[in-house]
Chain A
Amino acid sequence: MKRTGYLYDLRYLLHDTGPYHPECAERLQAIHRGIETGGLLPLVKEISAVKADMRWIEAVHEPGYIRRFEELCLSGHRTFDFPDNQMCPETYEIAFLAAGGVIEAVRRVMAGEIDNAFCVVRPPGHHAEVNQAMGFCYFNNIAIAARYLQEEWGVARIGIFDFDVHHGNGTQHVFEQDPTVFYYSCHEHPTFAFPGTGRSFEKGVGPGLGTTRNWPVLPGQGDDEYRKLIETDLWPAFDAFKPEVVLVSCGFDAHEEDDMSDIRLTTAGYSYVMEQIVAIAEKYAGGRIVSVLEGGYCLARLPELARNHVQILLGKDIPA
């Protein structure tokens, strides 16, 4: 059995997005319930949130953006940049805890204290641009973690696999010119889904040409399409790139019962996807995976999806 870190913190529940918002605290509670009732809590290494050092936030975001976020948030504004981005006065602080928690999980993996980790954080991050909040995201947690890996641990090749049903525009834009970070995203086709980027012709820019890949999935597609993209596209891409660490933008919103998308990935399909990522990480990255929660809004299905996710990270020989 692997030593799997599990980042969960009650303070993440305090990010209040107001009534009827899909990105709500109940999502995290549902995920935690799944881990708990699945009997996995005694098996994982629990991690508490740590506030991120400003240095790491600034490794991705412009200082002016961070100040604007702080000012608007602390002065009681309920939205930031887009009406989608609902916040409360605590949001700024909690965004630091989300990014910092992921950094802490990455640190433990790199220090050899744990093998891999699942970070159940809010607010999510992969839509956040260098200077703009977008799609419920403020700080780009996964991009910040990748910068931390580069600068603090000197990791030369980082593979990011983003299976949230929406394209991670923020992450792509941060790394599109960086040949040392491979950003691979599969998501509902941008003509039919937010945010409208992630078309197959977006393959990176300048020196980063070739280390960005997008596989848009048409509405109604599911397990078969994901199997195809992983076997015929993701594996060859990562076989060639050989990531030293694998980061995962984990969105459960491609599930067939999640009404944020028209994609029909089943619970079993999600397990298949994660098993393949684990296999890639085993082959190239010494098993080092840090999975970071992005979307996933079907409260009824989140417990089982998260439980399977952690079970796959724990791997074989889980005590009954």
Chain B
Amino acid sequence: MFVHRSMTPRVITIGKEASLLEAKDLMRNKNIRHLPVVDEQQKLIGIITDRDIRGAMPLENVRLPDFCKKMEVASQLKVGDVMTPDPITIGPHDTIEDALLMFEQKKVGAFPVIDAEGRLKGIISVRDILRAFTNVLGIGQPGTLLCILVEEKVGQLKKIVDAITEEGISFGSVLVARYWDENKRAVFPYLLTNNVVRVKQKLKALGFELLDPMEWYIDQLPRHERDG
């Protein structure tokens, strides 16, 4: 669950003296949107994004009478002029949950990963986190998702796991989510099988409620609660 396992280790960087056009070409050629800016010792000194570049060379310039002059100015800009100095970073031994929460708070698309000495070790983007959680959900493998509503009390999950295990079914993942009713939890077992008829009957016989799929929530907290 550590950042260094999910990050891109061979990170493409640029120096602060490089021109904006160079940075722009590099991003386009490598199909990336974030370039960490490093000094000669590979120490991180900033980050420049495709958005920073767009901001410095706005397309609206085309409509202005002094377009050529503006482009000339823009083409003389250096990475150091528009980069974000001292960007928000993350450590290789921070976890992907840390990264997830930071992405939510900081509203940026990628964090450079630096070690204790400030050396750049990699970069982790929202896309890396998405991939990690796709794997966590297990949805890359063939299977069937159930949604079971349970009372919020100790031992419920064991009963569910036991019932599923008795049917000889393997788990791809199990997700437990909060439900609008505080006293209940929604349990989402992802089962690596096509054959869920009997296990559904069994769970119902044990008194569990199987939620109508159209009422499923993985993300069901009221908005203000999430944002607050």
Contacts and interface: CB of A to CB of B under 8 A. Distances in A.
Interface of A: 20-22, 82-84, 127, 134-136, 166, 169, 191-197, 218-220, 259-260, 262, 297
Interface of B: 139-145, 168-170, 192-198, 200, 212-214, 216
B33 to A, nearest CB: 21
B133 to A, nearest CB: 15
Nearest to B200: A259
Contacts of A84: 193-195
Contacts of B192: 82
A166 B194 CA distance: 9
A218 B213 CA distance: 9
Q: Is the interface of B mostly helix, strand, loop or mixed?
A: loop
Nearest to A137: B194
Contacts, number: 57
Nearest to B197: A259
Q: Which of B192, B200, B212 has the most CB of A within 10 A?
A: B192
A271 B138 CA distance: 37
A262 B169 CA distance: 20
A196 B213 contact: no
B194 A219 contact: no
A142 to B, nearest CB: 17
Query: Would you list the 8 A-B pairs with minimal beta carbon distance, nearest first?
Result: A195-B142, A219-B213, A194-B194, A135-B194, A192-B213, A194-B144, A84-B193, A84-B194
Given A192-B216, A195-B194, 7 more contacts: A82-B192, A127-B142, A166-B194, A194-B144, A195-B143, A196-B141, A259-B197
10 contacts: A22-B195, A82-B193, A166-B194, A191-B145, A192-B213, A194-B143, A194-B193, A196-B140, A196-B142, A219-B213
A135 B168 CA distance: 15
Contacts of A220: 212-214
B212 A194 contact: no
B194 A136 contact: yes
Nearest to A85: B194
Contacts of B194: 84, 127, 135-136, 166, 194-195, 260
A194 B141 CA distance: 10
Contacts of B214: 218-220
A22 B214 CA distance: 25
